[in-house]
Amino acid sequence: MRNVIIIGSGPAGYTAAIYAARANLKPVLIASSVEAGGELMNTTEVENFPGFPQGIQGPDLMFKMQEQAERFGTEVILDDVTEVSLDGPVKTVTTGYSGTLEARSVIFATGSAYRKLGLADEERLSGRGISWCATCDGFFFKEKTIAVVGGGDSAMEEATFLTRFASKVYVIHRKDSLRASKIMQERAFQNEKIEFLWNNEVVGINGDNAVESVTLRNTVDGSEQVLPLGGLFVAIGNDPRVHLVHQQLELTSDGVIAVDGRSSRTSLAGVFAAGDVIDPHYRQAITAAASGTVAALDMESYLAELEQAEAHLDAPADHEAEAEAEAVESASARAAASASEAATVGA
């Protein structure tokens, strides 16, 4: 049985792996098959990660994190987790092609997934003018008029990046101010190709075979207008990826995995969570990395506690398993009590 399985390969997952590997715990990290490296793989310049004064490309940063985790003995598996069983002292994690793994602890660092607009024609026109990845698809919109929906850093970064290709980029935002950082806002405001459409939300996407226009509704007076467009990039935020742990771990009212206070301890003993999957507010590469550290340290103390409990067991051999289960159960009950308290406070 392994010490720890880390699920996820963004900054949280790799940082947890670096700490766990340096603690000699030989972590295995399940990175996903097609999304290894996480959200930063679709990002261009990262300018706010300390230690890189000239900035660093998102994918380069993630390859470096992976290399650092592997240097200390992390086993990285490029596969997807299909099922987890987290109850009790032995956690099992089932993968698509690499079999079922067992471990005494699990760290969830599954991050978040792009939020969709939730419009009827969104799916139909995906890949026909609707995109979630400016770095992948900007190339196809040379000299076109396009729009980015959203008001955060990702939306500003995408809009600015897309001006390399497009002749005009509208930013559609449902409020009259942005939540993006000041530097990203300024960069977008100063870009002549970018025009802001404040207080507008997209209520319809139109086109038979490709996006031809969007229908906008003014959030102040309710009026609607049709805006002709060659493409629409959606950057309206992310939702925590918790589908694997539904019914198993407590979630908060924000939909993230509930943890005990500032720790990474979830409602089940031996199960920890880090990064965007527990964070509805900050969601930065560096906060995710820090959160990964917390998870690795919490996991280390849990394993140490477990070992101590096992060492102190002087029960006869046939009762050993039972006693161990009991010890784990009491730790589990403690964790569950504090996490549900956190969940209640959140609600």
Partner 1 sequence: MSARAVTEQSFNQEVLQSDKPVLVDFWAAWCGPCRMVSPILDQIASENTDKLDIVKVNVDENPQLAVDYQITSIPALKVFKGGEVVQSIVGAKPKAALEADLAAFLA
Site of interaction with partner 1 (CB under 8 A)? 32-37, 41-42, 59, 80, 96-97, 126-131, 133, 135-137, 139-141, 209-210, 231
**Is 254 one of the annotated active-site residues of the chain?**
no
| Burial (CB count <10 Å: 0-12, 13-18, 19+), residue 19 | buried
Catalytic residue among 60, 87, 136, 176: 136
> In the complex, what is the shortest distance from the CB of residue 171 to partner 1, in angstroms, rounded to a whole number?
19
Among residues 235 and 328, whose Cβ is nearest to partner 1? 235
DSSP labels, 36-88: TTGGGGG--EE-SSTT-TT-EEHHHHHHHHHHHHHHTTPEEE---EEEEE-SS
How much of the chain is in helix, strand and coil states, percent to nearest 5? 35, 25, 40
Closer residue to partner 1 (CB): 37 or 240: 37
Query: What angle, rounded to 10 degrees, do the helices at 11-22 and 285-311 form?
Result: 40
Is 133 part of the annotated catalytic residue set?
A: yes
Catalytic residue among 60, 79, 87, 137: 137
How near is the Cβ of 32 to partner 1 at its closest, in Å?
Answer: 8
Instruction: Pick the closer one to partner 1 by CB: 140 or 282.
Output: 140
Specify the residue, 164 or 319, whose C-beta has the smaller distance to partner 1. Answer: 164
Please give the order of strands across the beta sheet that includes 145-149. 130-131, 231-234, 145-149, 168-172, 194-197
Pick the catalytic residue: 79, 121, 133, 239?
133
User: Which of 11, 270 has the CB closer to partner 1?
Assistant: 11
Query: How far is residue 105's CA from residue 233's CA, in Å, rounded to a whole number?
Result: 39
Q: Is 80 a catalytic residue?
A: no
Compute the least distance from the CB of residue 159 to partner 1, in Å: 17
Shortest distance (Å) from residue 69 CB to partner 1:
18
Nearest distance from C-beta of residue 205 to partner 1, angstroms? 13
Name beta bridge partners: 273. 108
**How many Å is the Cα radius of gyration of the chain?**
23
Annotated catalytic residues are 133, 136-137
